[in-house]
Amino acid sequence: MENTPGEVYDRVGSDTTTLRTPDMKAIGRLLWALLLPAIHPLYGQLLEENFAYDVGSPLTDHGYVAHSGAGSRPILIIAGGLSRQGYPSSGIGNSILLEGGSGSREDVNRTFPSVTSGSVYASLLVCPSGVSTSGDYFFHLGPTSVSTIFRGRIFVKSDTSGSLAFGVAKSSALDSVVSWTPFAYATGGTYLLVLKYTFNDGSSNDAVELWVNPPLSATEPPPDLTGVDTGSDASELGSIAFRQGGISTSLTLDGVRIATSWKVGTLPIQLSRFMAVGETGGTLISWTTLSETNNYGFEVQKSAERTSGYQPVSGLIAGHGTTNEPHSYEFRDTTGTNGKFYRLKQIDLDQSVHYSEPTEAVLTHVGERTLPGSSLDQNYPNPFNPATVIAYQVPSSMRVTLKIYDLLGREVATLVSGRKPAGRYTVEFDGSGLPSGTYLYRLETEDRLETKRMILLR
C-alpha cells in the first residue's frame, strides 16, 4: 500500500525522542538543501563516488580534471549503476564508460584529502566488456596534483580464449613488474576490486596489494596479489584517476570508495537523506538512516570551510544501536554561527568516531508547499526477497508513473499511475513469483525521468 505525504519522523533532541508530523508549509520558506547520494556511508572515508549525475554528461562537468587528452573522447556518464551483493555502493546513481579506441582519449582525476602515512584503500566495481591481450591499466591513485605521477595502478588483460586476469603495480606500466591473477574471470561480469597502498619507512619500499571479490567483512583478508614493483614511492596520495586504455579495452566502472581502513562491507551507518531547511529563528537539520550498527549517537557540526574548522552545534543526539529499520532524525540549529557546510559526527557504542562527507548548503527560494525537484530513491532493502520499498517525491501536483521492468525492457508491474499532490511517497513492490535477477524501476513525472536498478535474490 502506498503511503501519503507527511510521514511520521522520529524527532530527536539532545536527550529526548518524540514523534511528529512534519509541517510541509515550512518548506515554503528559505531552503538550505544538503542532499547526499541515495545511500551515504559514515566511517571516516575520504571519498565516495557513485556517479549520480545526468546521463551523457562528461566527468569534467562534475569536479574532475583532465590530465591527459583533454576534450578528446571525454569520459561520459552512462545509465544505471553496477551492483555486488553486500557492497554499500551498489546500484546507486549511474556509472562511467572507459572506452578503448584509436587516437587521443581523455583521462581524468579528482582529489580527496591528502594522505602521507598509513594505508589508502580504494574499492571499485568494474565490468569489462572488451579487453586486450597485452593488458591495460584503467585506474590509479596519485598525488593531489597528478601530472604524470601514477601510483597503485590496476590492470586487466585477456588470454586468447577471452578469459580475464587482473593486475596491480605500484608505479610502472611495464608488464614485467605487474603482478597478475590467473585468467579466472569472464568478460561481462561485475567484479569488486580493492587496492591497498601502504606507506613504509625508507625509500622505494611502499607496498601495493589487490583483492578481487573479497569477502565483505570487518576483518581484512589476505590479498589476492602483492605488488613486486620496486619503483619510487609516493610522497603523498590525494587523487583518484580513470584511464581510457588501448584500442581493444572497454569497461564500465562504478561505486568508488576511498578510505584509510578496511571496512569494505561493514559500515556503522547508511544515510538515505541529509538536508537542512532555513526556518524563522534557525535551520532545521534532518537525516534518515537505512541501517545502524552499534550506533551510540550523532553530533551535528558546522563550518565556514569545507575541509576544516568544524564546531559542534548540537549535543548528543541518541542513535538506535543496531537496527535494519529506517530511522529519521531532526535537530534545529539556532546558534546563529556563520557557515554553509554541515557534517555529522557519528559515535559508536565503543566511542570510536566517524564523520560524514562535508556537504555545502545551497540557498534556494521556493514557493508555498514546494519541495526540491522530483526524485527517486534507491529501493530498500536491496537486494530483496520478496518485497522492497521504493520512495519518491514530487515538488508540486503532477502526473506520476512508476513502473518495474526486466532487463529485456518488458514491463513487469505498474506501481503508480496518476496525479499526485506535492509530497514524499513510499510504495511497496512484491517480487513473489518473479525469478531472481536484476530489475529496473522507472519514475516518470513532468520534470524528471529516472531509472534505477534493484536485485531480487531467492
Q: For residue 177, which phi and psi values (nearest 5 degrees)?
A: -115, 10
Domain count, the chain: 3
- Mark whether 134 and 246 lie in a shared domain: yes
Whether pTM exceeds 0.85: no
* Cα torsion angle, 138, 144, 149, 152, sign: negative
Domain's final residue, options 196, 229, 259: 259
pLDDT in tens, the chain (458 residues): 444 333 323 333 333 333 333 343 333 333 333 333 333 333 446 888 989 899 999 999 999 999 998 888 899 999 988 988 778 788 778 999 998 777 788 999 999 999 999 999 999 999 999 898 988 999 999 999 988 889 999 999 999 998 999 999 999 888 889 999 999 999 999 999 999 999 999 999 999 999 999 987 767 899 999 999 999 999 999 999 999 977 678 999 999 999 888 867 655 777 766 776 665 567 778 787 878 888 899 999 988 876 677 889 999 999 999 888 888 888 888 887 777 778 888 888 877 667 776 666 644 333 333 345 788 888 888 888 888 889 898 888 888 999 998 877 788 999 999 999 888 888 999 998 899 888 989 898 877 778 888 989 87
Cα dihedral 121→124→126→131 (10° resolution): -30
In a shared domain, residues 229 and 182: yes
The CA angle 190-414-325, to the nearest 5 degrees, is 65
In 3D space, the residue among 75, 103, 118, 34 whose CA is nearest the CA of residue 356 turns out to be: 34
Residues 204 and 182 in one domain: yes
Identify whether residues 229 and 83 lie together within a single domain: yes
Contact 194, 264 (CB under 8 A): yes
Q: Domain residues for 445?
A: 375-456
Per-residue model confidence (pLDDT) at position 379: 87
Domain end: 306, 331, 364, which one? 364
Q: What is the pLDDT of residue 276?
A: 65
User: What pLDDT shows up at residue 279?
Assistant: 57
Residue 109 inside a domain? The answer is yes
